[in-house]
């Protein structure tokens, strides 16, 4: 139902540029495929690599018409064209997000950016100011919020089906082949080793890289903010400097209890899950079984909500593609939903009809800022071993 | 790893036309999204509907440049253009497949066609002759064979990891909302009712519509053919003329036992599964848990093979897209794999490098012919309540 | 809730003898533990082994007061005592069931007997006549019918919650270590090899040993009888004489479709499952997840019925022991439920209050006779490759 | 394999008395059934209720020969008999455990006692001194450690199969019918309401009642002790005084990270799970799937270890009963394993052969004392919002 809404509303695809994604990039192909799934964007320009020659070659091989040597160049040159890009996807290493976000907003572009938004909360504050001033759409790819069953969970909470929320617990545990933390570091690909260097990868790798996804899911589903944290961050595998593990307890603005653990030292494991309870019931979602949502119900057997059942909330139906909603889908559909929301917001801003109000729930700069505030509070809490208030963003 | 192989090898996307897929078509959008996922094809021409006005309007809304009122017209007009389509996707109702296949092959086009290949075995025999004469690629969208874990299962059998195969059992059971068979027929959408009319939908709806998928999976995974069948077909819900249910027992060419049941009368259910045992072990795959393959092993605990584990066969790795193979995917990735194999075969035929030999395992006209032979044997078996030989195709 | 009902009603435990169960017997300890679980029986006499010396030694080691060298002796001697046994458990090899049943009924004893009831349908007919004449309780340990969730399934069907039943499918697949059929026969324990000798173990090992359990579950849950069968029996592993595998299609008295497969050649597997669909919904039960019953529902998400949920049927509640019904239980609880029903029927016959009417649903001689009729029809069907009527028992 | 070891070694069953368990007691019947399962004990004396008249009536109905009005009376009278009880099971409310433990040890009895051992750590210290002085066996029914797969997990850790342990996480969440915390307190049975009265039920209900089970499992499986805790305890449901919820982060003596959450406010849920990771792999055990242990392995697919697989550790095999180890079992088998260990320890102390060294791993007074130290540290941590050292017991 999302296919070609740009053509239907605007008469053409939206023109997209991309920064990053060459070679062995994990997320670059995902951006391109997600942008293509519903045929909403044409990928017209790119800075695929910091190595211009390599970037040009890749762009040619991918059929991208225009390749540039820097984002600054891309934004300047595209602005000068009548058919220049209107939006940009940022899929570069984390420490470049802030700079490219500033450049893109200055160039009047809409932006879809990988998380984390920035490297520090101060930078995130600045991006929020700039985004508001520019009046442009900024969507953050907290892509797990794009799963239909995660959106169903959010809608159930909003409809009061779980009652008053009082418990939130999650986990993100990795440890399979090719992951960053293996018992034998020899298994970590050389090109990824910088990530676990605290000087380059940040104060708490497990928290920044995967823990923040759990944080976002908790706030996305419950529509409540975290107000206080108690964290225990550090390396679980001895002899390592980087924080491969994060244990966090927290309280929400309504007093609800929360906790999660995130680690890249769970040898042989791969698990992302969140569960939320209120006084009427609870929900459990696991990425490994992404097409189902287990609904715990007081005094009744749990129900297994899936893509095909009657009575799904519109927010879930909107996040699914057919046939008949009855087939399994995964990461790409969820990621593509980020692009659908991005397109809908852009089209609305162009005056091409109102965006579905549900598209406005896509992760935004405010979410990115909240993540940074959360991370900084966790790091401080872990360092001084005290509960810490989380600065609230409104 | 499949992205843009047409551009890399040929310097451009392959030019695709499509027949069918307008309006409430279940499978039309799936074809378009699958063809787009890896950016291998440009969708340049279409006959979306038998209603030309409606077809044109839909084509415009989908951004398809050229719309025609019939496949005959499309094939003639496109042939006359230097930039005419090179391949066509057939996503029309079953009873038109044979005619369009003949037209397309006569027009010198490569074809990707929904199953069933034709309405009768005699038609399928003819298509095989024509396809050989035309020297064109024909891929049949038995799309469940596109799941990475189904391909892993096939590769494990081929490598002898299960030993000599002696048991094959499967099920395809549907009964959720919007499905064709509900206790209350009022729930069946009017536009779908023709399917359960035996005069229009065929002798055995459950067998033709879903049972043949299990038959194909059985032969795809084991690389063995069915030689004899004993079937019990008919309506499970009383008062209905159409066959909503099929029970089939069979024997493979090597003597292995087999059975499956397929039904659209399994109220509230949705299940596609197949399991295969040999004298060293077995595998179980269910679409509901499509990213895992349970590997039973003599004298060892079962192993849960997934997308991230080490040691997957190349046939499985080739069917997955990143990042790191560790995310869940579904029906669309599997369907897109049909288009990857289609593109690889076409490119090889164009002299642009050899196709991966694994691409040649894609369902072909021979598979479609075998399906028709299987169905005809089952229908005969059920009518005279006898075991029936299945005509072998080589 | 079943604890000590004999003491409560009768002022003492019921006096039980046992035939079989010494040494490496699989099922002997299960009988003793099941009989003890609710403290309903005292085990006062035994013929544990056909080797009298060994039987006496085992009886002493088990604290059983009186040991005999034959069942004939046991029944005669016990009859002469004022405190002699009132009931006997038969846990001997299959081919001795008929003889001991006759002896026990002649001696005026209640009997709880392992399946199969007898070796032939003719013997089973005779046992039914004798049991009616003797006026004694005979319970057959089709113990899977003792699982609380199987009883819940039966009660749901009886209450019309699934609507009119039209589909029944099951599987019993084994192949783990120590099982009778492994690729390498060297893995079969010598003491078990007679079972796979057709001359001693019967015409169709897989059907008699495990397939009949699926047959009983199908009739127990649906309360419908099988009227016609089409079977394919034989060895799946080449070079073997015994039937390690059974494929069966069947029709119920109301026209419902049915099928099951049973095999001991499913290398590395262990699975017993049954699913039943009617026009309102369906249920799926698997022994591996014995404490849950998946309830498919038209137009609603499936519900996961478990031991703790509100609204369970009395038949399920009666089959569970606390605390709060919320803990997992297994094979022993199910087997003990056979003994509870046995005791309730005996006590009622002694005039100690009416038995719970649900206790009368325990597998009886009639069930044993129906199994034999089913097996004989399957064997005949497989031999002449025709559908066969199943003789009905009323 | 555990059946009748008392008769085999001693020539008779061990003589057991019981305190508590009348009427609607949840755990009383479990004790009686567990003690009977392997026929190791005769239940000869009881103080079933604080109401003597009711206790006598229940004892008669259960066939227990001797009923007393107090434990003091029971211990005195039984000591005077040549056939007096040798051991006692304590299944009374928590606040009476300390008194009865002291009485029983003074009377020279072996004791099997429900958790928690006592109400305070000081009392637990005293029990340890008394138990050592008395030279009697004291087993604490941390019964989840009796599950075969939990014992398999412990043995795998001990054998180094998971490598150095660095992550431990657990959960115990309840909220089904009849549970203590429902949104509507009207659903809490009146006789259970005292438990959620902090004045009577203790400082932290969720931690004492269920959280300590997770603590014990963590230490049992890893054989590591908790050295530091950070807890957040309190009511999740507003308007309630009692602590229905406990969030705990901890560190083990080797630096491993740990966390668990325990709550009785998880509406509609019922979950007990623990997972442990080392640098070679991890294990996940859930009570809902108690007969399986998921084994995560670096660089290999996860294996699903079950009761039937080859290569189980002796500690797991010892905790299972047949047939062939291949059937599902549950809470009662696990609880009975506490009684097996109890009997083996008693028999060894009687000079009847050495106890299996694995029997010595049963939860003991030291475990009870460690639980009390853990609880007191958690309560202090939650009150002053600081990390707290846990006093170590050696």
pLDDT confidence band for A173 (50 / 70 / 90):
very high
Q: Which residue has the higher pLDDT, C1 or D24?
A: D24
Mean pLDDT of A53-76: 96
Domains in chain B (CATH in brackets) are: 5-144 (3.40.50.720), 148-321+364-384 (3.30.360.10)
Alpha helices in chain C (DSSP H): 5-10, 28-37, 52-62, 71-79, 97-106, 121-134, 148-158, 198-201, 205-206, 212-222, 314-317, 331-349, 365-384
Cβ-based contacts of D168 with chain A (< 8 Å): none
**In 3D, which of D195, C270, C259, C327 has the Cα closest to residue B257?**
C259
DSSP codes joined into one string, D188-248: S-GGGGGGG-HHHH-S-HHIIIIIHHHHHHHHHHH---EEEEEEEEE-SSTT--S--EEEE
B112-167: per-residue pLDDT in tens? 999 999 989 999 999 999 999 999 999 999 999 999 999 999 999 999 999 999 99
Mean pLDDT of B60-73: 96
DSSP codes joined into one string, B161-224: TT-SEEEEEEEEEE-STT-S--SSGGGS-GGGGGGG-HHHH-S-HHIIIIIHHHHHHHHHHH--
The answer to whether B295 and B302 are in contact (CB under 8 A) is: yes
Q: Which residue has the higher pLDDT, B192 or A332?
A: A332
Q: What's this model's pTM, rounded to 2 decimal places?
A: 0.94
Mean pLDDT of C134-148: 93
Rg of chain D over Cα atoms, rounded to whole angstroms, equals: 21
The answer to whether D177 and D187 are in contact (CB under 8 A) is: yes
Cβ-based contacts of C301 with chain A (< 8 Å): 295, 303-306, 309
Write phi, then psi, for A131 (nearest 5 degrees). Answer: -65, -40
pLDDT confidence band for C175 (50 / 70 / 90):
confident
**In 3D, which of C157, C160, C188 has the Cα closest to residue C361?**
C157
Q: Which residue has the higher pLDDT, B314 or D186?
A: B314
Residue of A33, A67, A195, A286 to mutate for B, most B C-beta atoms under 10 A? A33
The answer to whether D27 and C323 are in contact (CB under 8 A) is: yes
Measured in angstroms, the CA of A8 and the nearest CA of chain B are apart by 5
Using a CB–CB cutoff of 8 Å, tell me whether A304 touches chain B: no
Among A residues 15-54, those touching chain B with beta carbons less than 8 Å apart: 26-27, 29-30, 32-33, 36-39
DSSP helix/strand/coil, B49:
coil
Q: What's the rounded Cα separation, in Å, for the pair A77 and A72? A: 9
Measured in angstroms, the CA of C230 and the nearest CA of chain A are apart by 34
* Contact across the interface for D328 and C330, Cβ inside 8 Å: yes
Using a CB–CB cutoff of 8 Å, tell me whether C310 touches chain A: yes
Q: What's the rounded Cα separation, in Å, for the pair A289 and A295? A: 14
* Contact across the interface for D61 and C7, Cβ inside 8 Å: yes
Using a CB–CB cutoff of 8 Å, tell me whether B289 touches chain D: no
**Please, how many CA atoms are within 13 Å of residue A162, restricted to the half-sphere of its CB?**
31
Cβ-based contacts of D233 with chain A (< 8 Å): none
- For D311, which residue in chain B has the nearest alpha carbon? B300
A242-263: per-residue pLDDT in tens? 889 999 999 999 999 999 999 9
Contacts of A83 (CB under 8 A, 6+ apart): A15, A44
Peptide bond into C116 cis (omega under 30): yes
**Strand A110-113 to A226-234 pairing:** unpaired
Write phi, then psi, for D304 (nearest 5 degrees). Answer: -105, 95
pLDDT of residue A323: 66
Measured in angstroms, the CA of A209 and the nearest CA of chain D are apart by 18
Alpha helices in chain A (DSSP H): 5-10, 28-37, 52-62, 71-79, 97-106, 121-134, 148-158, 198-201, 205-206, 212-222, 314-317, 331-349, 365-384
* Contact across the interface for C296 and B175, Cβ inside 8 Å: yes
pLDDT of residue D177: 44
pLDDT of residue D190: 62
Residue of A301, A305, A311 to mutate for C, most C C-beta atoms under 10 A? A301
Peptide bond into D323 cis (omega under 30): yes
Residue A178, pLDDT > 50, answer no
Residue C143, pLDDT > 70, answer yes
Residue A202, pLDDT > 80, answer no
pLDDT of residue A114: 93
Using a CB–CB cutoff of 8 Å, tell me whether D188 touches chain A: no
Measured in angstroms, the CA of B295 and the nearest CA of chain C are apart by 8
Mean pLDDT of C300-318: 89
Token digits for A5?
């809404």
* Contact across the interface for A265 and D279, Cβ inside 8 Å: yes
Q: Which residue in the set D247, D277, D280 is minimally distant from A269, CB to CB?
A: D277
Token digits for B110?
């490569």
* Contact across the interface for D267 and A281, Cβ inside 8 Å: yes
pLDDT confidence band for B213 (50 / 70 / 90):
very high
As to burial, measured by CB atoms within 10 angstroms (0-12 exposed, 13-18 middle, 19+ buried), residue D159 is exposed
Peptide bond into B323 cis (omega under 30): yes
The answer to whether C86 and C15 are in contact (CB under 8 A) is: yes
Output the CA torsion sign for A213, A219, A225, A228.
negative
DSSP helix/strand/coil, A13:
coil
- The end-to-end CA distance of chain C, in Å, is 33
Using a CB–CB cutoff of 8 Å, tell me whether B128 touches chain C: no
Q: Which residue in the set C164, C236, C296 is minimally distant from B257, CB to CB?
A: C236
DSSP helix/strand/coil, A184:
coil
pLDDT of residue C183: 45
Q: Nearest 5 degrees, angle CA D136-CA D139-CA D145?
A: 155
Q: What's the rounded Cα separation, in Å, for the pair B186 and D83? A: 75
Rg of chain B over Cα atoms, rounded to whole angstroms, equals: 21
pLDDT confidence band for B178 (50 / 70 / 90):
very low
Q: Which residue in the set A37, A179, A326 is minimally distant from B36, CB to CB?
A: A37
- What does pLDDT average to over chain D? 90
Measured in angstroms, the CA of C319 and the nearest CA of chain D are apart by 14
D45-86: per-residue pLDDT in tens? 999 998 999 999 999 999 999 999 999 999 999 999 999 999
Q: Give the position of tokens 């003091």.
A: D72
* Contact across the interface for A301 and C303, Cβ inside 8 Å: yes
C27-60: per-residue pLDDT in tens? 899 999 999 999 999 999 999 998 999 999 999 9
Dihedral angle computed from the Cα positions of residues C46, C50, C54 and C56, in that order, rounded to the nearest 10 degrees: 30
Q: What's the rounded Cα separation, in Å, for the pair B259 and C266? A: 14
Using a CB–CB cutoff of 8 Å, tell me whether D326 touches chain B: no
- For A251, which residue in chain D has the nearest alpha carbon? D232
The answer to whether D264 and A143 are in contact (CB under 8 A) is: no
pLDDT of residue A185: 53
Q: Nearest 5 degrees, angle CA B326-CA B330-CA B333?
A: 85
Using a CB–CB cutoff of 8 Å, tell me whether A217 touches chain C: no
DSSP helix/strand/coil, B310:
coil
Using a CB–CB cutoff of 8 Å, tell me whether D171 touches chain A: yes
The answer to whether D151 and D340 are in contact (CB under 8 A) is: no
Measured in angstroms, the CA of D255 and the nearest CA of chain C are apart by 34
Q: What's the rounded Cα separation, in Å, for the pair A211 and A247? A: 9
Token digits for B168?
């094959």
Q: Which residue in the set B230, B263, B297 is minimally distant from C230, CB to CB?
A: B230
Residue B320, pLDDT > 70, answer yes
A19 vs A50, A338, A365, C101, CA distance in Å?
A: 9, 17, 18, 82
Q: What's the rounded Cα separation, in Å, for the pair B382 and B40? A: 44
Q: What b/e string do you get for C353-384 counting C-beta neighbours within 10 Å, with b at 16 or more?
A: eebbebbebbbbbbbbbbbbbbbbbbbebbee
Q: Which residue in the set A174, A324, A330 is minimally distant from B328, CB to CB?
A: A330
The answer to whether D108 and D79 are in contact (CB under 8 A) is: yes
Cβ-based contacts of B294 with chain D (< 8 Å): 304
Q: What's the rounded Cα separation, in Å, for the pair A119 and B346? A: 47
List the pLDDT tens digit at each of the 394 positions of chain D: 678 889 989 999 999 999 998 877 888 999 999 999 999 999 999 999 989 999 999 999 999 999 999 999 999 999 999 999 999 999 998 889 999 999 999 999 999 999 999 989 999 999 999 999 999 999 999 999 999 999 999 999 999 999 999 999 999 998 854 455 444 455 566 656 666 777 666 778 899 989 999 999 999 999 999 999 999 999 998 777 788 999 999 999 999 999 999 998 898 898 999 999 998 999 999 999 999 999 999 889 999 999 887 789 999 998 988 766 656 888 888 888 899 989 999 999 999 988 888 888 889 999 989 988 998 999 999 999 999 999 998 7
ipTM above 0.90, yes or no: yes
Cβ-based contacts of D282 with chain B (< 8 Å): none
D167-191: per-residue pLDDT in tens? 999 999 988 544 554 444 555 666 5
* Contact across the interface for B268 and C230, Cβ inside 8 Å: no
Write phi, then psi, for B286 (nearest 5 degrees). Answer: -125, 135
- The end-to-end CA distance of chain A, in Å, is 33
Q: Specify the range with the lowest mean pLDDT, choosing from A280-289, B196-205, D217-226.
A: B196-205
pLDDT of residue C327: 66
The answer to whether B377 and B388 are in contact (CB under 8 A) is: yes
Q: What's the rounded Cα separation, in Å, for the pair B195 and B208? A: 11
Cβ-based contacts of D294 with chain B (< 8 Å): 304
Q: Specify the range with the lowest mean pLDDT, choosing from B227-231, B362-366, C167-171.
A: B362-366
C183 vs B298, C236, D311, CA distance in Å?
A: 9, 10, 19
The number of angstroms, rounded, from the C-alpha of A258 to the middle of its chain's C-alpha atoms is 20
pLDDT confidence band for A68 (50 / 70 / 90):
very high
The answer to whether D89 and D110 are in contact (CB under 8 A) is: no
DSSP helix/strand/coil, C203:
coil
- For C9, which residue in chain D has the nearest alpha carbon? D61
A269-280: per-residue pLDDT in tens? 889 999 999 999
* Contact across the interface for C4 and D62, Cβ inside 8 Å: yes
Output the CA torsion sign for D8, D10, D12, D17.
negative
Q: What's the rounded Cα separation, in Å, for the pair A71 and A67? A: 10
Token digits for B208?
């033709």
pLDDT of residue B55: 95
pLDDT of residue A189: 63
- What does pLDDT average to over chain A? 90
**In 3D, which of C265, C298, C270, C308 has the Cα closest to residue C286?**
C270
Q: Specify the range with the lowest mean pLDDT, choosing from C127-136, C180-189, D355-364.
A: C180-189
Measured in angstroms, the CA of D166 and the nearest CA of chain A are apart by 5
């Amino acid at each position: 139902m999302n296919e070609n809404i740009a053509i239907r509303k605007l008469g053409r695809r939206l023109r997209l540029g991309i920064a990053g994604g060459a070679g062995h990039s994990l997320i670059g192909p995902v951006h391109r495929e997600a942008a293509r799934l519903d045929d909403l964007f044409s990928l017209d320009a790119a800075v695929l690599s910091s190595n211009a020659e390599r970037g040009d070659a890749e762009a040619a091989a991918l059929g991208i018409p225009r390749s540039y040597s820097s984002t600054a160049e891309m934004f300047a040159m595209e602005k000068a064209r009548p058919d220049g890009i209107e939006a940009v996807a940022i899929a570069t290493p984390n420490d470049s997000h802030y700079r490219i976000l500033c450049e893109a907003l200055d160039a009047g572009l809409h932006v879809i950016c990988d998380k984390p938004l920035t490297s520090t909360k101060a930078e995130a504050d600045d991006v929020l100011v700039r985004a508001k001033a520019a009046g442009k759409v900024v969507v953050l790819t907290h892509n797990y919020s794009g799963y239909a069953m995660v959106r169903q969970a959010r809608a159930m909470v909003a409809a009061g089906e779980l009652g008053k929320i009082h418990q939130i617990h999650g986990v993100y545990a990795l440890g399979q082949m090719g992951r960053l933390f293996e018992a034998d570091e020899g298994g970590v690909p050389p090109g990824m080793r910088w990530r676990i260097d605290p000087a380059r990868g940040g104060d708490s790798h497990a928290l920044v890289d995967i823990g923040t996804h759990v944080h976002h899911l908790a706030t996305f589903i419950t529509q409540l903010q975290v107000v206080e944290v108690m964290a225990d961050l550090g390396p679980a595998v001895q002899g390592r400097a980087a924080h491969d593990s994060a244990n966090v307890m927290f309280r929400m603005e309504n007093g609800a209890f929360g906790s999660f653990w995130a680690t890249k030292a769970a040898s042989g494991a791969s698990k992302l899950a969140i569960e939320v309870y209120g006084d009427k019931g609870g929900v459990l979602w696991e990425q490994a079984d992404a097409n189902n949502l287990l609904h715990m119900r007081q005094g009744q057997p749990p129900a297994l909500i899936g893509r095909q059942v009657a009575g799904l909330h519109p927010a879930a139906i909107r996040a699914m593609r057919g046939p008949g909603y009855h087939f399994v889908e995964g990461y790409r559909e969820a990621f593509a939903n980020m692009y659908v929301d991005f397109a809908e917001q852009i089209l609305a801003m162009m005056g091409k009809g109102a965006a579905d109000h549900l598209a406005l729930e896509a992760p935004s700069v405010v979410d990115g800022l909240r993540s940074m505030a959360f991370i900084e509070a966790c790091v401080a809490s872990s360092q001084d071993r005290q509960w810490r208030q989380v600065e609230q963003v409104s």
